[in-house]
Structures are given as structure tokens and as C-alpha cells.
Amino acid sequence: MEQWRVFPDRQPRPGRLSREGILERLAKAKRGLGPAADAGVCEAGPARSSSGTPAAVLIPLVDRPDGFTVLMTRRTEHLHHHGGQICFPGGRTEAGDADAVATALRETAEEIGLDADRIEPIGHLDDYTTITGFIVTPVIAVVRPPFELTLDPHEVAYVFEVPLDFVLDPANHQQLPPAAHPMKQPRATFAMPYGDHFIWGATAGMLMNLYRVLALQ
């Protein structure tokens, strides 16, 4: 049995997107800033549960001269949840957070020290219910260089950037069947291996939702 499957039926990736092009696609998909009450669940995720723990992550689109990149983190190995995995900066919602954007910005500042002045939240993706019981709202934001990062050594081993063009290329979209799942879960999950980085699970599922929104023609 093959362990990886590339989706040949995905639509071709769009041309290199500008900030305005990204905003246009978010508006067309009705994923601009605002309540995510109409949000669904990525097809890779389990059924949505109202009893899950609210959380939010930031999907930072870094505006580089050669095109947007997606800034991602690798968790430290000792963490109980998602240790050693590739993630977006983020975490559970706290009582003082006004909304998902506030949660994502606070967690990003705590984890990687990215100044909020360099971050422009522009929209959100569908909520994603994880196998660990979190209902995660992914907040999309444009990040303006230059910036400096200060990593929390307890949570983040390092950060790296993936070209947005890579995420939007359907040739890079794969699916790991249940038998080969790293956590032995009885369901398939998406993956986007990038160099030495194995991006899978909820993070890859959110990237697939990002692809679906930005690939709108």
C-alpha cells in the first residue's frame, strides 16, 4: 500500500498573489475579519464539537520582495501537546482575549516575539477541530519586514518560512493514510513535506483550507 497520495484533481495554483489579490479572494470566500460563526471544519478534521476548547493561531504571510512566505514554527520536543511538530504560533483562548485575533496576536508575541506593529490581520479560515479537542480559529495576517523575533525556548525550537507558491501548488498536497499516521490515528490526514520539514495534521489541514480560499479564480 502506498503511503502518500498526491491529489491530481486539484485546480492549478493561481499566479503570484499581491496583498490586494489575497484580500480579494478572502472577500470572495467571505473569510474577511469578523465572527467565524459560519465556519466549517476542514475535511481532514474530525466532527466539530461545541464542547471543545477555543483556541486561535496566526497564519503569518510575510511580504517578501520575491513573494509571500508562510512563517511557521517547530515546537520543542518536550511539550505534551504537539511536541516536535510544525505549527503556527497560537494557543488556547484566555479570559482576557477579546476575540480570536487577540488570542492569535498574544500567543504570537509570547511564542516568537513578533511585534504586533508588524502584523496586519486580514481574515480568517474555517475553524478546525483537532483530535486533542481544540476548536482553532486560524487568523490570516500580512507581516511586514523587517522584524526581529525572540523565541520562547520552552515552546519553540526554531522558525522557518515556506514560500506561499509552494502551499498553492497542488503537486505538493499529499495525504497520509491511517496506517502510516505518525500518531496511529484511525483517519487520514493531509501533509505537505517541505525539505526537511514534515508538515502534517491540523497544520497541513489549515494550509489546505488556505489553498482552497486563495485558489479561487
User: Is 74 in contact with 157 (CB distance < 8 Å)?
Assistant: yes
pTM flag (> 0.85): no
DSSP 194: B
CA distance 153 to 142: 25
* Omega before 89 within 30 of 0, i.e. cis: no
**Choice among 122-126, 174-178, 197-201 with the minimum mean pLDDT:** 174-178
pLDDT digits (tens, 9 = 90+) for 25-82: 999 999 987 443 333 333 333 334 457 899 999 999 999 999 999 999 998 865 555 5
Amino acid 175: pLDDT? 85
Amino acid 7: pLDDT? 46
In 3D space, the residue among 14, 38, 31, 28 whose CA is nearest the CA of residue 138 turns out to be 31
DSSP codes, 91-137: EE--TT--SHHHHHHHHHHHHH---GGGEEEEEE---EE-TTSEEEE
DSSP codes, 59-86: EEEEEETTEEEEEEEEE-TT-TTTTT-E
Q: Which residues contact 59 (CB under 8 A, 6 or more apart)?
A: 70, 88, 125, 138, 139, 140, 141, 206, 210
Query: 36-214 has which CATH code?
Result: 3.90.79.10
Domain edges within the chain: 36-214
pLDDT digits (tens, 9 = 90+) for 149-176: 999 999 899 999 999 999 999 999 998 7
